[in-house]
Chain A
Amino acid sequence: MSNLSLTTADFEPIKLQRETQTISRPSLSYWRDAWVRLKTNKRALISLFIIVGLLVFTIAGPWIWTIDPSAQDLDQLSTPPGANRVAKIVAPYHPWAGVTTEPAPISTQPTWATQEVRLAEPATTQAVRLEWDPVPAATGYRVYRNIYDPEPDGALGLPIGEIYDARRVSYEDLLDLSPTRFWYSIVATDDLGREVAEYTTLVVDVVRVITIDQAVVAGLEGPNGPLELGDEVLIKFHPLGTDYLGRDMLARLMYGARVSLFIGIIAPLFFVLIGILYGSAAGFIGGKTDQILMRFADFVVALPFLLFMILFKIAFGIGPGESGIFPMLVALVVLSWPATARLVRGQILQIREEAYIGASQLLGAKTYYLILRHMIPNTLGVILVTLTFAVPTVIFVEAFLSFIGMGVAPPTPSWGSMCNEGIQTMLNHPHELIFPALFISITVLAFNLLGDGLRDALDARMRSRE
């Protein structure tokens, strides 16, 4: 009935053509998954590169750019970047006797403006020597200098010289000369010593000069062998210019970053750590202890933050104008931990109710094991996000304190104190404000964007939101 012939070979198991269920990709841990997600977030990734770049800038920078941030280059005060660096070698300064004339005969029709102002010698950064034609009825002269054209509103600028002798018709300006254009105005004074309304203006382009001695001290070299009078040399290079005391901006920014980033990163690390310990203790123990601990945290939160920062600095005996990185750090840590503590406590309370904690307890896990193995790793994502957002806040606080003169003391640069100095001369030398402000802004921006990216990558509940 059956013509079916079965051989033993038919009872061999069929070889599987393909595996029906395979794990095509290795399973991702939470952190690998987060990293993959972060890598797709272009803004966060760029921010991460910027932060690494800033760290390299401040740690490795001073080895490459070895200029002392507190050394003054008196030839270049408040020089913007890219300024002309050519200096002419001249002989050392010689005093100038000036020019005196006989008083001009008083004509019947007195004109109060002098006929002509001219340069007695070429104007250099060593001295600007002016002489002018006497004004018939003048009893003296005043010399004004401006960095803008006095026309049309007659703004003569800085009064730099007063001459009480009508015969003296010259003035030597030695005050803070820099290689720019100045407008010198000569005003005569009448017999009562009052200034007259008329004035004569001379536009002077000052040439940068340097003596041989100065050039040798500064370590400059001539184009061909030893320095000679009349040679043109290039004075020291400051890529980002100098500040009002002639200190190199780039070097100061590098050292300033040390203060700003150091406080900005170390302080959050510490207060987040304290917050984790405090919050997890409160959350895990629970009950009355939790109530008391959290009420105390509420009080600390209610303290007016910046006022207490200042109070702390005073309490440490550090008055205005003294450096106090350490007290600033302590004050930040003492005042900032409660936010993290609250967050961690909330997380711990949530996790405590999870089934896997119960399972772990059933398997005989001890408390410290539960906290270390389950609770803290599970809150780490949220903590990391808090940490990233805390950095810009702290950098702002440091900058604010330095700005009102309660932060880092003058010889030590910090971005905040550099801004404070830059703001005083913002109209004439904007680069002194722009660079430190730019660095603060970029750092804060980078940390904020990285924080956004981390939150999207790590926090599952926030992920769906914008």
Chain B
Amino acid sequence: MYRYTLKRLLQGLITIWFIATATFIAMHSVPGDPLINERGVNEEIRRNLEERYGLDRPITEQYIIYMGNMIRGDFGISFTQQNRSVNDIIREHFPVSATLGILAIVFAGLGGVLWGALTALYRNRLPDIIVMFLVILGISVPSFVIAALGQLALVGLNGLAGFSILPVAGWGTVLHMLVPSLVLGLSTMAFLTRLMRSSMLEIISADFVRTAYSKGLPPTRVFMKHQLRNAILPVITVLGPAIAAITTGGFVVELVFAIPGLGRFFVQAVQQLDYTVIMGTTVFYGAFLVFMVIAVDLIYGLVDPRVRLE
């Protein structure tokens, strides 16, 4: 177990190094010059700027400095927002994205497991048909349309009530978080529902379930202890990719609902070609996702005793 954890962590570090290098190469093969913008820059200012950002040195040295800084956890200074370090930007905006993401995962996980179990129990009956229809909608409708419709629904709701029940956009209170995180989790919830349903259908006719019934256990106990626990396992395996999907899906939701998260900042940085912010955010997100996947794998080993981690 410990050896496995250590091995996975080491692999994770190599992956992050790979991500950082790939990002570095991609950013440095950009044709053109990050310092050229609409304002003309004379030779001297240009030299100063190059020195400040270390662009006057040979590329191998730049790479070593960049890697060295990254190991110390320093992503550099933003190109477009003077004197604001990328670390500050991440520190300030990531918690917002993380809160949104965690809520979305909770919604998606709980909803997916519950709806999946429900549809399997009511197989081919009305609740199953209705939920599966909604699931297909959730998978087929693009996230930005869902976000826009969610906002529209909020406007309608507030209009009906005559006062603001839930804020339409912005960030700050729990009320601000509810609808965006629901919208963000919706497509993942649909995906998990499908998975949970097929996994539950297999369990329902399993031998140990029949045994449990024949022992005379009450149905709720069979459901909770025997069916749900076993059916939930495949759902845990896909939580890693689901977290990745929700993190990137957050970009759209943050844009539509005007939430000051890191995703919105990243899109903005891309539009302004703010190189250090793009690099820093990419590496940060990459590292985050890599460790999330490792964590999910380790949890899977804890939950399912049949899986032996080696």
Which A residues are closer than 8 A to B by beta carbons? 298-299, 302-308, 310-312, 314-315, 317, 319-320, 392, 396, 399-400, 403-406, 416, 419-420, 423, 426-427, 433, 437, 440-442, 444-445, 448-449, 465-466
Contact = CB atoms under 8 A, between A and B. Distances in A.
A302 B198 contact: no
Contacts of A426: 148, 152
A314 B277 CA distance: 13
A396 B142 contact: yes
Given A306-B251, A427-B152, 15 more contacts: A303-B22, A304-B289, A306-B248, A307-B286, A311-B23, A311-B27, A315-B30, A400-B144, A400-B252, A426-B152, A433-B148, A441-B137, A441-B145, A445-B140, A448-B139
Given A314-B27, A404-B255, A320 B271 contact: yes
Contacts of A400: 142-144, 251-252
Interface in B261-282: 266-267, 270-271, 273, 278, 281-282
A307 B269 CA distance: 12
Given A317-B31, A426-B148, A465-B198, A419 B15 contact: no
Contacts of A440: 141-142, 145
With a 10 A CB-CB cut-off, give which of A427, A441, A442 has the most chain B CB atoms: A441
A302 B142 contact: no
B26 interface: yes
Interface in B6-36: 11, 14-15, 18-19, 22-23, 26-27, 29-32
B308 to A, nearest CB: 20
Nearest to A310: B270
A466 B142 CA distance: 25
B11 to A, nearest CB: 8
Nearest to A303: B19
B56 interface: no
Contacts of B19: 302-304
Contacts of B299: none
A172 to B, nearest CB: 33
5 tightest A-B CB contacts, nearest first: A445-B140, A317-B31, A315-B26, A437-B145, A306-B248
B142 to A, nearest CB: 5
Contact of B15 (A302, A315, A437, A445): A302
Given A299-B18, A302-B19, A307-B266, A433 B145 contact: yes
Contacts of A445: 136, 139-140
B285 interface: yes
B142 A311 contact: no
A340 B290 CA distance: 20
15 contacts: A298-B11, A307-B248, A310-B278, A311-B23, A319-B273, A320-B271, A396-B142, A400-B252, A403-B252, A441-B141, A444-B139, A445-B140, A448-B136, A449-B136, A466-B197
Contacts of B141: 437, 440-441
B271 A298 contact: no
Contacts, number: 124
B201 interface: yes
B202 interface: yes
B295 interface: no
Interface residues of B, number: 49
B208 to A, nearest CB: 19
Contact of B26 (A311, A405, A449): A311
Contacts of B266: 307
B26 A314 contact: yes
Given A320-B270, A444-B140, A308 B282 contact: yes
Contacts of B15: 298-299, 302
B145 A404 contact: no
A240 B31 CA distance: 41
B218 to A, nearest CB: 26
B117 to A, nearest CB: 14
Interface in B27-62: 27, 29-32
Contacts of A306: 248, 251
B244 interface: yes
A362 B287 CA distance: 49
B248 A304 contact: yes
A304 B293 CA distance: 12
A315 B29 contact: yes
With a 10 A CB-CB cut-off, give which of A303, A304, A403, A433 has the most chain B CB atoms. A304
Find the residue from A320, A423, A433 having the highest chain B CB count within 10 A: A423
Contacts of B152: 426-427
A252 B276 CA distance: 37
A302 B136 contact: no
Nearest to A445: B140
B281 A307 contact: yes
Nearest to B120: A466
A466 to B, nearest CB: 5
Contacts of B247: 304
Nearest to B251: A404
A317 B30 CA distance: 6
B142 A419 contact: yes
Contacts of B282: 304, 307-308, 311
B271 A307 contact: no
Contacts of B26: 308, 311-312, 314-315
A434 B286 CA distance: 34
